[in-house]
Structure formats: C-alpha cells, structure tokens
Structure 1
Amino acid sequence: MGVSERFTTFLSNIRLTDAQKADGATKRESVCSALNWKYYSSTSGTNNSFYVGSWGKLTRIRPPRDVDVLFKLPNSVYERFQGKTGNKQSQLLQEVKNVLVSSFPKTDIRGDGPVVLVPFQSYAVELLPAFVLNSGQYWIPITASGGSYKTFDPDAEIKHINNSNGKTNNNTLDLVRMLKCWQAHCSVPLKSFYLELLAVKFLDQWEHAGKSKTYYDWMARDFFAWLVNQAWGTLYVPGTWESLSLRDAWKSKAQSAYERAAKATQNEADNLPYTAGEDWQKIFGTDIPLT
C-alpha cells in the first residue's frame, strides 16, 4: 500500500456517511422547530439557525460527535432579560432549556453555559442561543462569574478554515480530521477548536503545503514535530482575536506521536507498509489501514 492510498482510505473511513449527516440534520430540525415555535410562532426546523463548530466548518468525523447549532433569539428577548435581576445569562439558558424540556420530556437536557445540551441517542445537539450584533457577530451567554455576554464570530472562524483549505489543496480539512482521530484515540487534552487553529498555523509555514496525499506521512510527522515546540504558545480566535493559551498538558502525547510518525514515515520509505501501518495505528487508531 502506498502512502497516498493509505491516507485516502483513512480519510474515507472517518467521513460521516450520508445517513449520519441526515440524522444530524433531523436532530437539528427537531430542536430548532421547538424554539422557532416559542420565539417566532413558526414551525421551521432551519430558520433562525445554522451549524457552527465542526458541522459549520466541515471538520466533523465519525464516529459522530455533537451537532453544534446556533439559534438566533429575537432582540426583544435580550431586552426582556436585561430587565431581570441576578444572573441574566443563566436565566436565559434556563428558559431555552425549559422550552426544549417541554418538547423532549424524556431527554436529559442540561444547560451548560453557553450551550444547552440535548443528548439524543445517536447525536447530542449542542444548542447555542445567541443575539445578532450590528457588526454581524453574535453575543452568546456566559453563565460563570455572575453572568456576561461574549462576542462570537462564526463566519470569521469558517472563513479562516476555508481560506487555508483553498490555499492548500484541501490539506487543512484533511489534517484537522486526522488530528481529531489522534485526539480521540490517544486521549489528547487539546480541544478540537485548538487543533483547527494549529492546523492552519502549521500549514501556513509548511514547505509542502498544497501537495497531494503522497506527502501526508510527512505532513503528519512534521506537524507533530512542530506542535511539540508550540507548548505555552498563544492562539488567537478569528474575528474576536481572543487569546488562548496552549499550556503543555498535551506535550508528551505530541512527542510520542512525532516519534511514532517518524518511524512510520521511515518504514514507508523502506517499503515496509505493514510495519508502517502498525505505527500509524498507534497514533490514529484502526481507521487508518494496516495494508
């Protein structure tokens, strides 16, 4: 098995199936139709909402994870809660939660600021209530420390991924999806959003960015080598430029992944595909084939 064939199969194995995409869409529509009825007297399952997170950026993989959905609340709701005392954001989430509890009484719905989690059997929907700002950005409710609103710019986050992906011949989305497998298989304490930002930052300076899947063994190896040196670095959120500290809890996992990827890459070069496959599976799990 050549490198290109191995990674093509790997990426195919972790893509959501059409049935999984349809199931996620159904879950989104059931949640949003309940909220549209409450706040807009509409039964639409899609109006006033859109995918964010991995579903919005198309970085989702299987097995399926949460479906992240932003729901735009009317400005009148913001004004109503501004007239309340206490933690307004917590009260807002509680109201949204209660609307959904009425529609799904057998589901253990939880408010976990800034989202309301609706854990259906096949998918959990993470519902993010938000208010549209004049800038086109959003305010989302943060319940900690007495409550506040935080600026969120999903369009900028999607554009950040898409611009990189366009410049790199789809390397960006492929690398992010691979890294999510590493995150899950090796229990890496790095959030998926951080992995997205890191993938873009790495590819901005990688000399082989934009090349075919024949280079994906080098891409994995070089990413992990680069990542080890990012400990205690800072990332910036597109659109709001909020700073995020990387810390270093994940560093030993990255070092192990680099060492295994270096071995796998050498075994690919030495025409030892089965041995290389064993090395890759220690990083990414069994979705990447042995042969």
Structure 2
Amino acid sequence: MAIETSFETFFNNLIVDNEESIFQKIKRIVKTLNKNLYNSESDTDHSYIIGSFGRNTAIKGVSDLDVIFALPEDLYYTYDARSGNGQSALLQKVKDIILTTYPQTDVRGDGQVVVIQFIGFKIELCPAFLEEGNTFTYPDANNGGCWKTVKPLQENEACDELNTLSEETYIKLCRLVRAWKNKFGLKISGLLIDTWCYDFLSANIEYHQEGLTHFPELIKDLFNYMTTFSPDRRYWYSPGSRQKVYKKSNINKKVKKSLEIATEAIECLEEDDKCGKYRSLFGKAFPYKNLVLEKAHNVRNNEEFIEDKFQLDIIYNLRIDCEVSQAGFRTVLLRNLKIIKSRMSLTFFVADCDAPKPYEVYWKIKNVGQHAIEKDMIRGQIIKDAGQGRRKESSTFNGPHYVECYIIKDGICVARDRINVPIRL
C-alpha cells in the first residue's frame, strides 16, 4: 500500500459519521427558538454554526457542536436594564424555550451558553446579538453578569480562504492534529489547533499544493515548528478574529517525542513500518497491517482499542503514576525510575484529573516486543476500574510494556494517559 493511499484512507476514517443526527437536533432547537422569538417556522434562520464544525475541521468522535443563535435586538435592552444578573436571566429564558422541545433532555445554563446534552454529544448554544461587521454581543453570567463580544464568522472565513488556497491541505492538517491530540491525551482546544495549522501553512506555502505524497515531510516540519513553542507561552491569536486562544496543557515533551517518530517514519524503508509509526502518532484511524503478529504462530492478539468502545474526544487532562514496591524496600514512584526489576508489586493510580465527576475509569496493560510474542503474552484488553482509580499488577512479565488509563464521561473518552513500564530482562 503506497503511503499516499494510507493517508487517503486515514483522512476518510476521520470524517464525522454522526453529522446528520447532530444537525437534525440543532434544526429542531433553532425552529423552536424561531417560532417563539420571531414567529417563524424556519429551522436555519438566525443560526450560525461555529467552532470546529463551522471551520470544517471536526473529526469522528467530536463530542460537541457550537452554534450561535441571533436574538431579537429588543431583548438586549430588556435584559440589560434588569437589576441583578440580566445575563443569567436571558440564558434562563433561552433554556426554558429549548425545554419545550426537549423536556426530558439535560438542558442547563453554563455561564455563556446553554448546553443541551444528548447521548454521545452535546450542543452548546450561545444566544447573542448580531452587530455590524458580523460581531456578536453575548451574555456572560459569571461574576454578576456582563456583555462580551466575539467574532467567530471571521474565523470561519479566514480558515475557508486558506483551505481553498492550499487545496484542502489546511483542513487535512487540522484534522490530523486533532487525531494526534486524541492519541497523546492532550487537552488542546480545536481553535488553538486550527490557529497553529493556520500559522504554519501561512508561513510554508510550499505545502499548499503538494498533495498526499508530501504529508510525511509536512508532518515532520509541523512538529518541528511546534517544538519552537516556549513552555511559558500562554496564548496565540486566532485567524480572522485575532482573539486570544489559550494553551491549557504542556505539550512540549510529547511534541518532541512526536517529531522523533515522524522523522523515523520517513527513514523507514518498508511501507508497513512507516504505517506503524504513523499509527503510533495518530491512533487506530491510520491503516496498519501488523505483519509481525500475522506471521507469528500460536499467538493470541486480543488487543482492544478505546476508540472501538467509546467515542474519543480528549478535552481534559489526566496524569497517572505507579507505586513500585517490594517487601523490605521503600515504595517509589515509577516516573522517578529509569528501569525496574521483575517480581515487583505495581499499583497504577490516577494522580490528577481535571474532568468533573462523575466519570468511569478504564485500564489497559499491553506487553510489547518479540518476547511478548514468543511467550504469547501480548494482553491489551481494556478493563473497567473497580471504583478506586487504581490498578494492581506485578512485574512478572520480563519485558517492556505500557499501561494506559481512560476517563469515560457521558459515554465519551474525554481524557487518557500512558505510562511505560521498563522492566529489566
């Protein structure tokens, strides 16, 4: 399989597969708001799709759709004149209207938006007032209430222009980085990803019309560009609107590792080896035929993948660690060790997670390398946590393996982390 064919399959695998269901629901909501506020039966008027869907950069597994609904102008003066938090009252009014259509659905105000939570995804609707220049004024109910402005249509337009200029390289790159973010468990907003890709392609016009054959070099150069980001840098300016977009997690270590993998992929002589490297960067969506396992005899490959069990959309941070102990010795943390001996007791645990509870925790232990194949000890099943956020193992397998942890909320994998277990043979 030529590498360009693999990338074509990869990008097809990233296409959102529940878009019709999502848009059917948003149309019902828009129709209800139009009927109540404008005496109209339209299911599209006064609505503006923004966010990743609006920029056409969302990928399969996306868990939210952002939409602005433009309110009648007179409502601004009504709620601006209210004593107390008029912004909160306006959000409550919009929420109550939506509840007439979805009375059994979880609908709640959340500071600046009304959140409508469905199974597998949510709609975040921002009620706002359309101003001159396609600027929106919207209510912020936090800290007593105030009005703020946003310019998402300018972002949509700028991204669309670059995508046309680059012959759709821009959208492909944005989707690719989302897959990387999900694979490496990084909490990065979609707008920040699109901003990085926008800045990179704007400065590297040689990639605008190169096609899929040149994506290996493009990926390497993108990660090389991202290694220049200072760990102390807090924000970037979004395309079009030039609003500040903030970084929410430290990416430098994982970007550096990704650059190494991308460089190794280019140096691989065999196509299957290249694809294996890209799968380690972008996850199961990248096609890969594991010939080593296929040729092995009497080996059970029962590995499970989180994206086969749940939607995958990383929006929270997770950090796991492991207590390494042995009778007669003090307990130490695995991340502080370069290598451990066999026959040790290992207790993996959730060290930090900013996802709001309740949520479920799942674990995966995967043995890797030729020794795991020869001993038929690959493992790789995904196991639900008993409720303590901990998983006990022992270092009986004399070879390298890794442990992954997944946070599942509302049926979606929203955080993940991985720790390598370097056992001495």
TM-score by length of 2: 0.64
- 2-structure distance, mates of 1:215, 1:65: 31
Q: Rg bigger for which structure? A: 2
Q: Structure 1: where are the runs of 5+ without partners?
A: none
- 2-structure distance, mates of 1:248, 1:24: 29
What does residue 207 of structure 2 align with?
209
- 1-structure distance, mates of 2:29, 2:224: 42
1:134 matched to 2:162? The reply is no
Deviation at 1:251, TM superposition (A): 1.7
What does residue 7 of structure 2 align with?
7
1:260 matched to 2:254? The reply is no
- 2-structure distance, mates of 1:15, 1:151: 31
Deviation at 1:86, TM superposition (A): 1.8
TM alignment of 1:101-116, pairs within 5 A: 101-116=99-114
What does residue 74 of structure 2 align with?
76
- Asked if the contact 1:117–1:126 (Cα under 8 Å) also holds between the matched residues in 2, the reply is yes
Query: 4+ runs of 1 displaced by more than 6 Å?
Result: none
Out of 186, 189, 202, the position equivalent to 1:188 is 186
- 2-structure distance, mates of 1:257, 1:222: 11
- Asked if the contact 2:115–2:122 (Cα under 8 Å) also holds between the matched residues in 1, the reply is yes
- 2-structure distance, mates of 1:15, 1:94: 35
- AA partner of residue 220 (structure 1): I
1:241 matched to 2:246? The reply is no
Bigger CA drift: 248-257 or 162-171?
Answer: 248-257
- 2-structure distance, mates of 1:26, 1:194: 28
1:123 matched to 2:121? The reply is yes
- Asked if the contact 1:273–1:290 (Cα under 8 Å) also holds between the matched residues in 2, the reply is no
- Asked if the contact 1:70–1:128 (Cα under 8 Å) also holds between the matched residues in 2, the reply is yes
Deviation at 1:285, TM superposition (A): 0.6
- 2-structure distance, mates of 1:77, 1:16: 36
SS of residue paired to 2:66: strand
The two structures, once aligned, show a CA RMSD in angstroms of 1.8
Deviation at 1:222, TM superposition (A): 1.1
SS of residue paired to 1:208: helix
- AA partner of residue 12 (structure 1): N
- Asked if the contact 2:279–2:288 (Cα under 8 Å) also holds between the matched residues in 1, the reply is yes
- AA partner of residue 224 (structure 1): F
The C-alpha deviation readout for 1:96-133, integer Å capped at 9, x for no partner, is: 11221232121111211322111122432111111011
- AA partner of residue 264 (structure 1): A
- 2-structure distance, mates of 1:71, 1:132: 9
- Asked if the contact 1:153–1:238 (Cα under 8 Å) also holds between the matched residues in 2, the reply is no
- 2-structure distance, mates of 1:135, 1:203: 27
TM-score by length of 1: 0.92
- AA partner of residue 2 (structure 1): A
The C-alpha deviation readout for 1:234-290, integer Å capped at 9, x for no partner, is: 4113444333344761222222221211112221xx2x2222222111211110111
The C-alpha deviation readout for 1:28-59, integer Å capped at 9, x for no partner, is: 11111121122112232111112111221111
- 2-structure distance, mates of 1:247, 1:33: 35
- Asked if the contact 2:235–2:247 (Cα under 8 Å) also holds between the matched residues in 1, the reply is yes
Bigger CA drift: 7-16 or 250-259?
Answer: 250-259
- AA partner of residue 101 (structure 2): S
The C-alpha deviation readout for 1:206-225, integer Å capped at 9, x for no partner, is: 26311111011111111111
- Asked if the contact 2:10–2:287 (Cα under 8 Å) also holds between the matched residues in 1, the reply is yes
- 1-structure distance, mates of 2:119, 2:225: 38
Q: 1:125 to 1:233 in 2, by over 3 A?
A: closer
- 2-structure distance, mates of 1:178, 1:10: 9
Out of 140, 144, 150, the position equivalent to 1:146 is 144
Bigger CA drift: 114-123 or 243-252?
Answer: 243-252
- 1-structure distance, mates of 2:20, 2:242: 34
1:53 matched to 2:54? The reply is no
Q: Structure 2: where are the runs of 5+ without partners?
A: 290-425
Bigger CA drift: 121-130 or 279-288?
Answer: 121-130
Q: Which has the higher helix share?
A: 1
Q: Percent identity, aligned pairs only?
A: 26
- Asked if the contact 1:27–1:123 (Cα under 8 Å) also holds between the matched residues in 2, the reply is no
- 1-structure distance, mates of 2:227, 2:157: 27
Bigger CA drift: 66-75 or 118-127?
Answer: 118-127
Q: Which has the higher strand share?
A: 2
- Asked if the contact 2:56–2:171 (Cα under 8 Å) also holds between the matched residues in 1, the reply is yes
